[in-house]
Amino acid sequence: MAVELVPDAQSELDVELARLKQEHRDLDDAIDALERNVAGDQLQIQRLKKRKLTLRDRIAFVEDQITPDIIA
């Protein structure tokens, strides 16, 4: 359930969303680099993928807070 946001809260969520998306992209790059390495550290790759999933959940939560509920 999204609530009506005041402008400051809206801009804070926008900034957090941008930061989370950037971190998610950075993790993509790091995972790709590790997977290309022949002796890639599988444990590290799994940790990065788990962090990426956590970020994806947080991104979805923030996007839900920004986007108002529309009753159709």
Q: pLDDT of 8-64, one tens digit each?
A: 888 999 999 999 999 999 999 999 999 998 777 899 999 999 999 999 999 999 999
Q: Which residues have C-beta within 8 Å of that of residue 34, sequence separation ≥ 6?
A: 40, 41, 44, 45, 48
Domain residue ranges of the chain, discontinuous segments joined by +: 7-66
Q: Which residues have C-beta within 8 Å of that of residue 1, sequence separation ≥ 6?
A: 69
Radius of gyration of the chain (CA): 16
pTM value > 0.85: no
